[in-house]
Amino acid sequence: MSKYVKELIQSEFEQKVADGDVREFIVFNVMGVPGVDNNVMRGELKQKGVEMFVVKNSLFRRALRSKDMESACGLFNGPCAVAFGGDSIVDAAKELVDWTKKVKAVKLKGAFLDGTVLDGDAAKELAKMPTRRELHGQIASCIMSPASQIAGALVGPSSKIAGCVKTIIEKAEKDAA
């Protein structure tokens, strides 16, 4: 590969890292994945908002060093691909763990998130965490739970009183008729 081409690739990597696209990512190996499976995997990941690209390790390491993400450089040994995107890194991890089950050649090497390097096993555990959307739902239900209990406590006695008044009115109407 010519020096000019390497510089173009490295500048593209640096641009992705500088734009904040690649702040959290998963590193995995796709060596030995059949072409059809690779294309299907890329397509499904893309549909779910997860980007994937195969990297030249030395160039991606340089891009990481230029953006103070040097601790992640240890993940890039041997053939590597990087996945990032979705609502959070958990989305990407869940998708890739699913693909490790479908295609045995896909191997997780690790992940980088919030300045922390995770090994392959920790990256698999990352997939078990709730996604950002699920966390928002849990927070909303925690917030709504006390309010719904208060509303129930306020409405409960008044509905009983209303039922009693209705019964008295119906009884009075029967007696009058």
Identify the pLDDT of residue 145: 78
Identify the pLDDT of residue 18: 65
pTM of the full structure: 0.69
Instruction: For domain 3-129, give its CATH number from 3.30.420.10, 3.40.50.360, 3.30.70.270, 3.30.70.1730.
Output: 3.30.70.1730
* Percent of residues in the chain assigned helix, strand, coil, to nearest 5: 65, 15, 20
pLDDT digits (tens, 9 = 90+) for 157-172: 777 777 788 888 888 8
What are the Cα distances from residue 17, in Å, to 13, 82, 114, 167? Answer: 6, 12, 14, 71
Residue pointed to by tokens 């479908």: 102
Beta bridge partners of 117: 112
Tokens for 67, please give them.
Answer: 């953006």
SS3 171: helix
Query: In sequence order, which residues have a C-beta less than 8 Å from that of residue 83 and are 6 or more positions away?
Result: 25, 26, 28, 45, 50, 51, 52, 92, 95, 96
Which candidate, 124, 112, 116, 123, places its Cα nearest to that of 60?
112
What are the Cα distances from residue 27, in Å, to 57, 62, 153? Answer: 11, 16, 52
Question: Residue 87: what residue type?
Answer: D
Tokens for 84, please give them.
Answer: 């990032």
The domain locations on the chain are 3-129, 132-177
SS3 77: coil
- Count CB atoms within 10 A of the CB of residue 72: 24
| H or E segment and range at residue 141 | helix 132-176
pLDDT digits (tens, 9 = 90+) for 40-94: 998 998 998 888 888 888 888 888 887 778 888 888 888 889 888 878 888 888 8
Tokens for 105, please give them.
Answer: 């050649």
